């Protein structure tokens, strides 16, 4: 099945005009965020969304916590971790492993993207589904994130991306850094509709998803990719992932030890 999905993606992306790719690359270079609505063929979009809905219905866990390493910002949503998606999904993992997706995103970013060298961050499924649910201000551990929108609320019901590019995650004083940036820099906002995705330079772009203002839903699959520099950067750590997915990561580590 994976080979068929990869072949379908390759055929679809091979039809994208060079001018379209150049426009995406120019926008990404300027804003460090670019939205795309034609990354997958229509039949794979449908299968992707159906798979996400099935995973949420059967395997989602509620996450409600504040993350110290990002300045005490909140996380309130349902989520399915990478290992569960890998075990029960087909389409979502196949998008991550598609060489043509990787090559296309590399051209948009003007950089070589690589599979992230930390499995828990390869892909996750998040769903804000209650009034007040949010994914608070943060930076990502690795350079690039591709966020696929499965469900999007009404534009007036929250769930918008807010972001500040060209910023630095000060892990020694995250709360102070966050306050300084939000008081001194312009916060940009963007709405991305369901069936679309956006690529973000996520390690230097402070970003959040605004709280939902009604009992609607914003569901996304977040893919993480590494830059060439990330692969040898020994300062990268995973405090945020380990806080949010502590049980899953601990179980995975225990299983790996048992297998050795």
Band the pLDDT of 51: cuts 50, 70, 90.
very high
> What contacts 3, CB < 8 A, 6 or more positions away?
none
Burial class (CB in 10 A: 0-12, 13-18, 19+), 147: buried
The average pLDDT across 43-52 equals 98
pTM value is 0.94
What does the pLDDT read at residue 256? 46
Q: Which pLDDT belongs to residue 257?
A: 35
Predicted pLDDT at 128: 98
Say if residue 190's pLDDT is above 80.
yes
250 band by pLDDT with thresholds 50, 70 and 90:
low
User: Which domains are seen in the chain, by residue range?
Assistant: 2-259 (2.60.120.620)
Report the Cα–Cα distance between both ends of the chain, in Å, rounded: 30
- Is the pLDDT reported for residue 251 higher than 90? no
CA distance linking residue 219 with residue 221, whole number of Å: 7
- 115-172 pLDDT, tens digit each: 999 999 999 999 999 999 999 999 999 999 999 999 999 999 999 999 999 999 999 9
Output the pLDDT for position 195.
96
**pLDDT tens digits, 3-16:** 999 999 999 999 99
Q: What is the DSSP letter of 180?
A: H
């Amino acid at each position: 099945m994976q080979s068929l999905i990869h072949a379908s993606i390759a055929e679809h992306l091979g039809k994208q005009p060079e001018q379209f790719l150049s426009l995406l690359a120019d926008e990404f270079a300027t804003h460090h965020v670019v939205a795309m609505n034609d990354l997958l063929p229509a039949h794979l979009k449908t299968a992707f969304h159906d798979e996400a809905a099935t995973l949420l219905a059967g395997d989602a866990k509620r996450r409600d916590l504040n993350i110290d390493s990002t300045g005490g910002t909140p996380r309130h949503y349902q989520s399915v971790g990478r290992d569960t998606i890998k075990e029960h999904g087909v389409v979502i993992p196949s998008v991550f492993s598609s060489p043509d997706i990787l090559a296309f995103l590399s051209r948009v970013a003007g950089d070589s993207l690589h599979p992230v060298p930390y499995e828990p961050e390869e892909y996750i499924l998040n769903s804000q589904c209650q009034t007040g649910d949010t994914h608070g201000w943060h930076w990502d551990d690795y350079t690039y994130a591709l966020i696929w929108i499965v469900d999007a609320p009404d534009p007036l019901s929250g769930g918008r991306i807010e972001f500040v590019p060209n910023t630095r995650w000060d892990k020694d004083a995250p709360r102070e850094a966050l306050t300084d940036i939000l008081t001194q820099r312009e916060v940009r906002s963007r709405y991305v509709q369901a069936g679309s995705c956006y690529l973000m330079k996520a390690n230097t772009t402070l970003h959040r998803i605004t709280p939902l203002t009604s009992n609607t839903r914003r569901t996304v699959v977040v893919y993480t990719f590494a830059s060439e520099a990330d692969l040898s950067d020994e300062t990268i750590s995973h405090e945020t992932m380990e806080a949010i997915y502590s049980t899953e990561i601990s179980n995975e580590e225990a299983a790996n030890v048992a297998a050795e």
